[in-house]
Amino acid sequence: MKLFRLFIASLFALGLSACASKIDCTVPARIVDGTIVTQVPPRAPGQASMLRFAAEPIDTVRIALVGLGMRGTGTLKRLIHHDQSEARLVAVCDVLEENVNKALQIVADAGLPAPAPYIGEEAYKELCARPDVDLVYVVTDWIHHTPIAVYAMEQGKHVAIEVPAATTLAECWQLVDTAEKTRRHCMMLENCVYDFFEASCLKMAQEGQFGEIYYAEGAYIHNLDHGWRRYYKNWRLDFNSKFRGDNYPTHGFGPICQALNIHRGDRLRTLVAMDTRSFRGLEHAREIMGVDSFAEGDHTVTLVRTEKDKLMKVEHNVYGIRPYSRMYSLSGTKGYAQKYPLPGGLCFSQKPGSDDARGSEIVEHFEFVPAQVRDSLLAAYRPSIIKGIEERARKVGGHGGMDFIMDLRLVYCLRHGLPLDMDVYDAAEWCSLCELSRISLNNGFAPVEVPDFTRGDWNVIDGYSYAE
């Protein structure tokens, strides 16, 4: 068996050397029948699948927050709303002393005990050495996400990482391999899966209201003109100036992957991407960075086909003169959901009954159901994990409440020793779009295979579900 694996690896290496000059990516790749295929490394001895992984229950989850910029401050303001017997903040960390001081002040104003402060580029390492930290919550710029999370898992900590958790395929594999080796949770903080429309539509999808979903759309379309200068050391524009592709795919991609049961009965198979050239991105870069080139196109579109022949479209545009949209649409054999433009619409092949979509009357001309029916359906299909905490989450806030729902669920699952709502394979799959779209774009919009991060187990679980 070992010899056979060696033989396969050598064949792969031969293929790689034949085309290495053409494919510029962070993992070995080769071309098979016109499709670019990146290497799936064999699972190393000592690693095991993280599907349905559950850790020992933790009575009070002790959290260390790394990264206290714009988002990190918002995160902190949510974390102080946990019941202190369930979750409490024990340490905070940032490169900038002023950010740490601001964080300490927020905690003091809330009348809570001061978390231990850590300041400096590598101060997270000392923080990870603390025996009283259960969860390291990473809210830095993108390039620090994976290194900090990997280090923390190696020190025995569970990790929650802001989006995107990884920016390259090599980083996606690092997260998967480290979680599998250390048996620590690695959850990406994809908050949009908890937004109310998406969460209710997921339940409707699971109960068959849309029939079989065969096409779904997601996007991150958000003009960031107001904010480019506010990021620490200009990290975001700098990243986009260097890297072509969909650099921020997960808000659009995550919710539709859940609806299509990705790695729970279906898997992402092949993608192709196309983009425009840079127009407004380049203008910003000229003005802010004084450079004359910009890698990321203003608008990037990625099409992904699944093993079960479903299609997904993911778009990215943070430059456009247009309203915010994450698109979020589901097309099924019996119905359709579309969130944007807000307040969204639902459409079915049969007239919905009073509180669900099962009715006897066939609809001939498809229109969105009236707003009142839509709203009552969305409310009726609120998943049970949200129902009990919706009001509290709306009060604490964070994008209307979805951020706090995410935090509460994370803490609940850790406290009860349950599998988390999003596992390390979700993180890797959703983030892999960053580099996979780049590979497609840089190789004449070529088809690229999406690696199976579960290494063959994508069909073991039958459908997405929350652990309760």
Ligand X SMILES: NC(=O)c1ccc[n+]([C@@H]2O[C@H](COP(=O)([O-])OP(=O)(O)OC[C@H]3O[C@@H](n4cnc5c(N)ncnc54)[C@H](O)[C@@H]3O)[C@@H](O)[C@H]2O)c1
Nearest distance from residue 51's CB to ligand X, in Å?
A: 25
Nearest distance from residue 237's CB to ligand X, in Å?
A: 11
Nearest distance from residue 190's CB to ligand X, in Å?
A: 7
Instruction: Using the rule CB under 6 A, give the single segment among 39-47, 61-69, 385-393, 438-446 that binds ligand X.
Output: 61-69
Q: Which of 28, 67, 115, 335 binds ligand X (CB under 6 A)?
A: 67
For residue 183, count other CB atoms closer than 10 A to its CB.
14
In the range 248-307, which residues lie near ligand X by CB under 6 A? none
Residue number, 193 or 330, with CB nearest to ligand X? 193
Nearest distance from residue 120's CB to ligand X, in Å?
A: 7
Residue number, 266 or 421, with CB nearest to ligand X? 421
Half-sphere exposure of 315 (CA within 13 A, CB side): 19
How far is C-alpha 165 from the geometric centre of its chain's CA atoms? 7
Per-position DSSP letters for 191-257, written without gaps between them? GGGGSHHHHHHHHHHHTTTT-SEEEEEEEEE---TTTGGGSGGGHHHHHHHH--S-SS-HHHHHHHH
Instruction: Using the rule CB under 6 A, give the single segment among 37-45, 87-95, 335-343, 379-387 that binds ligand X.
Output: 87-95
Residue number, 393 or 446, with CB nearest to ligand X? 393
Exposure string for 121-151, b = 16+ CB within 10 A, e = fewer: eebbeebbebeebbbbbbbbbbebbbebbbb
163 binds ligand X (CB under 6 A): yes
243 binds ligand X (CB under 6 A): no
DSSP H helices in 423-464: 424-442
The token pair that represents 43 in the structure block: 């699972």
Residue-level length of the chain: 468
CA distance 167 to 163: 9
162 binds ligand X (CB under 6 A): yes
Residue number, 70 or 274, with CB nearest to ligand X? 70
Give the dihedral of Cα atoms 200, 326, 434, 455; nearest 10 deg. 20
Residue number, 317 or 443, with CB nearest to ligand X? 317
Residue 164: cis peptide before it, omega within 30 degrees of 0: yes
Residue number, 252 or 335, with CB nearest to ligand X? 252
79 closest CA partner among 55, 54, 124, 115: 115
Residue number, 266 or 407, with CB nearest to ligand X? 407
Residues in the interface with ligand X (CB under 6 A) total 27
How do 213-221 and 311-317 pair as beta strands? parallel
Exposure string for 368-388, b = 16+ CB within 10 A, e = fewer: ebeeebbebbbeebebebbee
Residue sitting closest to ligand X (CB): 69
- Return the biggest CA–CA distance within the chain: 65
66 binds ligand X (CB under 6 A): yes
In the range 90-109, which residues lie near ligand X by CB under 6 A? 93-96, 99
In the range 211-240, which residues lie near ligand X by CB under 6 A? 231-232, 235
70 binds ligand X (CB under 6 A): yes
Beta bridge partners, 93, equal 66, 118
In the range 386-445, which residues lie near ligand X by CB under 6 A? 399
Binding mask 113-152 for ligand X (x = CB under 6 A): --------x--x--------------xxxx-x--------
Q: Which of 68, 285, 396, 431 binds ligand X (CB under 6 A)?
A: 68
Nearest distance from residue 104's CB to ligand X, in Å?
A: 14
Residue number, 121 or 367, with CB nearest to ligand X? 121
72 binds ligand X (CB under 6 A): yes
Residues that bind ligand X in the complex, under the rule CB under 6 A? 66-72, 93-96, 99, 121, 124, 139-142, 144, 162-163, 189, 191, 231-232, 235, 399
